[in-house]
């Protein structure tokens, strides 16, 4: 559809949806209990704290008269749209979420969603990763999305197995040194 016939807010929302971490088509939206709680707390903060504050600023700015040159009004309305967009996104994510508690995993010898896996490369360097949902992933903290190439290689592997995956630097092999569910 031509952008001339689409409202700016709809186009912006489509762009933000495209920027959100993607879940493979037809797959469930998995998230850990702690990740679910973090998203829920963000939604609560937006609805109960931030949005009412911005609404009061916009209301005050609107009462000042001319809105065309009123920065508080213009930027407040823009911020309000951003908050509403994020609220809609969080509601969709929370409704679609399949919460997985790693502590309830029964098969502890195999890597599944929520596992904390210690791997060792050919040089003997160890690294530890937890396999989490797409919105929880943060590689610098050792949390990788279950749809990442490394996590896909690790899933269903067992202690002592060697997994191969394609990294940005090429094909890599890692040995699984430890599997924990916490």
Counting the structural domains of the chain, the total is 2
The mean predicted confidence, pLDDT, of the chain is: 87
CB distance 140 to 131 below 8 Å: no
Angle, vertex CA 168, rays to CA 164 and CA 170, nearest 5: 50
Q: Is residue 20 part of a domain?
A: no
106 lies in the same domain as 166: yes
109 and 167 inside one domain:
yes
Q: Residue 3 pLDDT more than 60?
A: no
- The length of the chain in residues reads 182
Position 87 in a domain: yes
For residues 50 and 110, membership in a common domain is answered with no
Q: Both 115 and 95 in a single domain?
A: no
Domain membership of residue 81 as a residue range: 27-100
Please count the CA atoms within 13 angstroms of the CA of 72 that sit on its side-chain side. 14
Query: Tell me, what's the pLDDT at 5?
Result: 46
Q: pTM value?
A: 0.78
Instruction: For residues 35 and 91, state if they share a domain.
Output: yes
Check if the beta carbon of residue 151 is closer than 8 Å to that of residue 144. Answer: yes
d(CA 168, CA 118): 20
* CA–CA separation, 16 and 103 (whole Å): 33
Say if CB 100 and CB 114 are below 8 A apart: yes
pLDDT at 2: 47
Report the percent of the chain where pLDDT is more than 70. Answer: 87
pLDDT of residue 28: 85
Last residue of a domain, one of 68, 100, 132: 100
Across 47-67, average pLDDT: 89
Within a domain: 2: no
Lowest mean pLDDT among 66-70, 123-127, 170-174: 66-70
The CATH number of residue 77's host domain is 1.10.287.180
Single out the residue of 67, 86, 75 nearest to residue 12, CA to CA.
86
Q: What is the pLDDT of residues 130-169, one digit of tens each?
A: 999 999 999 899 999 999 999 999 999 999 999 999 988 8
Among 76, 100, 124, the domain-final residue is: 100
Which pLDDT band holds residue 65 (cuts at 50, 70, 90)? Answer: confident
Give Cα separations from 71 to 34, 59, 82, 83, 171 (angstroms). 39, 13, 16, 18, 53
**Is 43 domain-assigned?**
yes
Which are the contacts of 103, defined by CB distance < 8 A and separation ≥ 6?
Answer: 181, 182
In a domain? residue 168: yes
For residue 15, tell me if it sits in a domain: no
- Tell me: pLDDT of 27 over 60: yes
**Cβ-count burial 162-172 (b if 16+ within 10 Å, e if not):** ebeeeeeeeeb
């Amino acid at each position: 559809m031509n952008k001339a016939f689409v409202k700016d807010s709809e186009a912006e929302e489509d762009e933000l949806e495209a920027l959100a971490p993607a879940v493979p088509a037809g797959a469930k939206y998995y998230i850990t209990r702690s990740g679910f709680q973090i998203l829920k707390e963000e939604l609560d903060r937006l609805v109960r704290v931030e949005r009412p504050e911005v609404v009061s600023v916009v209301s005050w700015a609107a009462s000042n008269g001319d809105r065309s040159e009123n920065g508080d009004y213009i930027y407040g309305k823009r911020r309000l749209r951003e908050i509403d967009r994020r609220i809609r996104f969080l509601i969709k994510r929370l409704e679609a979420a399949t919460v997985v508690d790693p502590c309830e995993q029964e098969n502890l010898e195999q890597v599944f969603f929520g596992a904390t896996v210690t791997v060792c490369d050919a040089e003997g360097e160890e690294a530890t990763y937890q396999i989490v949902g797409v919105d929880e992933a943060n590689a610098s903290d050792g949390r990788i999305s279950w749809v990442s190439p490394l996590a896909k290689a690790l899933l269903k592997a067992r202690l002592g197995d060697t997994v191969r995956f394609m990294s940005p630097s090429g094909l890599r092999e890692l040995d699984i040194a430890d599997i924990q569910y916490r």
